[in-house]
Amino acid sequence: MAVDTLYFSRDTKVYVKVGSAVWEIPVLDGFSFSQANNSTEVTLAEMEDTSGNSKRGRRVFNDSLAPVEWSFSTYARPFLSAASDTAGNADKNGTSNHHAVEEILWALMAGAATYTAPSSSVATALTGVTYNDNTSPVSLATDMTIVDFDSSNKSTLGTAEIYFSLDDGGSNPVVYKCDEAVVNEASIDFDVDGIATIAWSGFAKTLTEDSKPTRTVFEAINSTNNYIRNRLTQLAITAGDTTTFPGSGSGVYTLTLTGGNITISNNISFLTPETLGSVNLPIGHVTGARSVSGSFSCYLGLDSGTNTGTSTDFFNDLTSSAARTKVVNSFDLTFKVGGDTAETPVYHFNFPTAHFEIPAHSVEDVISIETSFQALPSTIGETDEATVKFHGVTPD
């Protein structure tokens, strides 16, 4: 008698493989992966014959497989590597650098994502990631590991193999591999009472059943002290034009967040041939315009002086007659997720030339304003519109 085996999402583990390195990525409930089918329908539409008959048939032809669509969410979890020659460590017998459990996904988002395997003398190295260790005294200004987008001006980005291992610890696991997977979008929402979370999504060429890979990088995935509380998040805004946007006298606006979002997208599309008589497979991806945008909300605060950089001043300055002559404005905008303290895990998202739209009032129990922004590069061909930094703690 056959025994039915059911697979539960809570028993699933996710692995990301680049070259010979395999990261185990703890994900949240709600992950997905699927590959759809593209088809063409041919129908008949004719007038009736002399007997009053009319053909009404149809045929359906399979044309191609659509690219795989995958998505999952992770917590933002930076850590300071132990730098010991231990299986799974991000650094081995080298300098103890700041890493993040999900850093491979940032590397894929930002560029080529090539990898140098750790050894007794070589630390983990991912393209697009500049690692930093703790100096003395510890300082966020010099110690944060940096993800930049200098390698992202490419028609194609680095790919990986993403494995969804169902019933990972059971006796009958089923493993699905997303081959030639690319990261298309990362979205960070600021739930004031939540834990910092990143929603990742992307595409892949094919979805096939495979065997479970052996993880090689898994430091700090079971740690409990490297989660980030959103309530500690701070916002720093400084205007490039301090005459039009004076803020507190130096272009600085002091706003306390009640919520917000950051979305970074590669706007990737897959190319698929259209050969008749066969079911075609996607052949690869191409990038679109890189897009970095978001929004934030804050309470409408009392202006206690001429211009002290409150949210009221922020709205008034952005709607002043001088501001209306500027079709593009420029602000240095930094979200300090988790705060600004080196003794706690933090993520900092910096947009040095962000363009603000006019804030909109939200009338609820407490009046607030919501502002949307576009992170723009210094010139249209540059890649300096966004920098992601993180600083971790020694895993417990």
pLDDT at 94 over 90: no
Q: Is residue 1 part of a domain?
A: no
Contact 21, 117 (CB under 8 A): yes
pLDDT at 378 over 60: yes
Q: Which residues of 376-389 are buried (b: 16+ CB within 10 A; e: fewer)?
A: bbeeeeebbbbbbb
> pLDDT over 90 for what percent of the chain?
74
Contact 288, 267 (CB under 8 A): yes
Structure tokens at 233: 């998040």
Q: Is residue 177 part of a domain?
A: yes
Please, which pLDDT band fits residue 249 given cuts at 50, 70 and 90? confident
Dihedral (Cα; 309, 314, 316, 321), 10-degree rounding: 100
Round to whole Å and give the CA distance between 296 and 348. 15
Q: Is residue 50 part of a domain?
A: no
Closest listed residue to residue 113, CA positions, set 63, 176, 180, 68: 180
Give residue-wise pLDDT tens across range 352-375: 999 999 999 999 999 999 999 999
pLDDT at 303 over 90: no
Give residue-wise pLDDT tens across range 195-213: 999 999 999 999 999 999 9
In the chain, the number of structural domains is 1
Q: Is residue 4 part of a domain?
A: no
Give residue-wise pLDDT tens across range 20-53: 889 999 999 999 999 999 999 999 989 999 999 9
pLDDT at 1 over 60: no
Q: Is residue 195 part of a domain?
A: yes
pLDDT, residue 124, reads 58
Which of 38-42, 45-49, 159-163, 303-307 has the weakest average pLDDT?
303-307
pLDDT, residue 140, reads 93
| Non-local CB neighbours of 184 within 8 Å, separated by 6+ positions | 201, 202, 203, 265, 266, 267, 268
C-alpha distances in Å from residue 203, one per residue of 9, 103, 206, 221, 370:
20, 18, 9, 25, 32
Residue with tokens 């593009």: 328
Residue with tokens 């979805």: 207
Which of 70-74, 154-158, 299-303 has the weakest average pLDDT?
299-303
DSSP structural state of residue 214: P
Domain ranges, residue 130: 9-34+62-391
Q: Is residue 298 part of a domain?
A: yes
Residue 371 backbone dihedrals phi, psi, to 5 degrees: -125, 130
Q: Is residue 131 part of a domain?
A: yes
Structure tokens at 347: 């993520």
Closest listed residue to residue 99, CA positions, set 117, 84, 86, 81: 81
Give residue-wise pLDDT tens across range 174-184: 999 999 999 99
Collapsing DSSP to helix, strand or coil, 13 comes out as: strand
Round to whole Å and give the CA distance between 33 and 270. 16
Closest listed residue to residue 387, CA positions, set 183, 150, 155, 80: 150
Q: What is the mean pLDDT of residues 143-156?
A: 92
Round to whole Å and give the CA distance between 301 and 280. 58
Q: Is residue 240 part of a domain?
A: yes
Closest listed residue to residue 318, CA positions, set 332, 302, 331: 331
Contact 192, 230 (CB under 8 A): yes
Round to whole Å and give the CA distance between 123 and 282. 35
Q: What is the mean pLDDT of residues 126-153?
A: 90
pLDDT, residue 195, reads 96
